[in-house]
A and B are shown apart, each in its own frame.
Chain A
Amino acid sequence: MVDPRLTVIDERLKGIGNIIAVSSGKGGVGKSMVASSLAVILARRDFRVGLLDVDFTSPSTHVILGAEDLYPEEENGIIPPRVHGLEYMSIVYYSGNYATPLRGADVSNVLIELFAITKWRNLDFLIIDMPPGIGDAMLDIVRLVKKIKLLIVTTPSQLAFETVKKLLYLLSELNIPIIGVIENLKMNKSKFIQQQVEGKNIPFWGEIPFDIKLEEAIGDIHKLLSTEFGKKIEEIIDANVKLL
């Protein structure tokens, strides 16, 4: 018995230049904010961009983007709808506002199904918003997506960075490219994270200060990108994406 879906994933992704998974060891560090902003900012720079939310049990990018009343088209597969210039794919098209409790094997199956049936157009970037940690989704992403690159988000908290260190170690062991680390929710001037990251010969993309006004901009991407968070991440992306 063979799962035929696995053999078609490379074909589905062949028209995509860069596939970047935004990940962290911990939840609550701002991965979805960074992933959504990264995708929209790249699209505003005239890149062809897709955003895929694979945090299946707790998807949130649709809330950040204010993406409502969207549904994929069916055309020999699933064609992601467009929002803010992005091709956008999320499980919420099917689960709505209901809870979707999934165990590990189910998470793998959803991931494989979405990669097998989603027909992305030719893209310069596909940004993937990951769930936290180094569980099934991470292991499957690095198994299934041959050209995956990781962008890691941490906070200054030693609790967050302790888990990020494990993630960085795992990715290095697996020879998965880490394009950079972003330090989010910064509230002091410490250079500890930057030194730790650069000490591992991993690019430190920059730090984003804690922005108390960010919460009220959720759902309005234009407002979000004009916050302190938005301006800083735009600066970080412009400085680093050209290096990819």
Chain B
Amino acid sequence: MHEWALAEAVISAVSQIAEKEGLQEVKEVKVKVGELQQIELDILRFAFSQLKTAKFKSATFIIETKKAEFRCRVCQKKWIFDARKLDTETAEAIHFVPEIAHTYIKCPNCGSPDFEIVKGRGIWLESIRGVK
């Protein structure tokens, strides 16, 4: 349930933005979730529903997943992260700290661990919509 901690972060970020923008009510929250972190979307949705305060009472949470893409800094090879190729322990380690990918994943072309996580790392708040 480490998704819960991430959901708390999203709620906290939205609350701060709503406060700053003078929103009385939040209507829609768009979140992007990178596949590298392998977040359980059902748990994330459940956490959002449980963490909603009055300001969020009619808010819709839209979650969009994004493929994780790597680019090797040595040979420039690009490739897509595939969690199915990992054993359970490795997948779980990357789930908690996505940069642990550099420990276990190597460039499929040259074998280097020196690659960039181009996109799809973790959770991002894309946008919020509300009424003033």
Give A contacts to B, CB under 8 Å: 1-8, 11, 74-78, 91, 93-96, 98-103, 106, 109-110, 113-114, 116-117, 119
A-B residue pairs in contact (CB < 8 Å), sample of 13: A1-B126, A2-B17, A6-B13, A77-B2, A78-B5, A91-B100, A109-B98, A109-B121, A110-B99, A113-B122, A116-B5, A116-B9, A119-B5
Chain A's nearest CB lies how many Å from the CB of B13? 4
Q: State which of A4, A99, A110 has its C-beta within 8 Å of the C-beta of B123.
A: A4
Q: Is B4 an interface residue (CB 8 A)?
A: yes
B contact patch SS:
helix
For the complex, what is the distance from the CA of A102 to the CA of B113, rounded to whole Å? 9
A109 — nearest CB in chain B belongs to which residue? B99
Q: Is B114 an interface residue (CB 8 A)?
A: yes
A117 & B103 in contact (Cβ 8 Å cutoff): no
Among B1, B6, B100, B114: residue with most chain A CB under 10 A: B100
B104 & A2 in contact (Cβ 8 Å cutoff): no
For the complex, what is the distance from the CA of A117 to the CA of B12, rounded to whole Å? 13
Tell me whether A94 and B96 are in contact in the complex, defined as CB-CB below 8 angstroms, given that A2-B124, A77-B5 are known contacts: yes
A1 / chain B contacts, CB cutoff of 8 Å: 32, 124-126
For the complex, what is the distance from the CA of A110 to the CA of B9, rounded to whole Å? 15
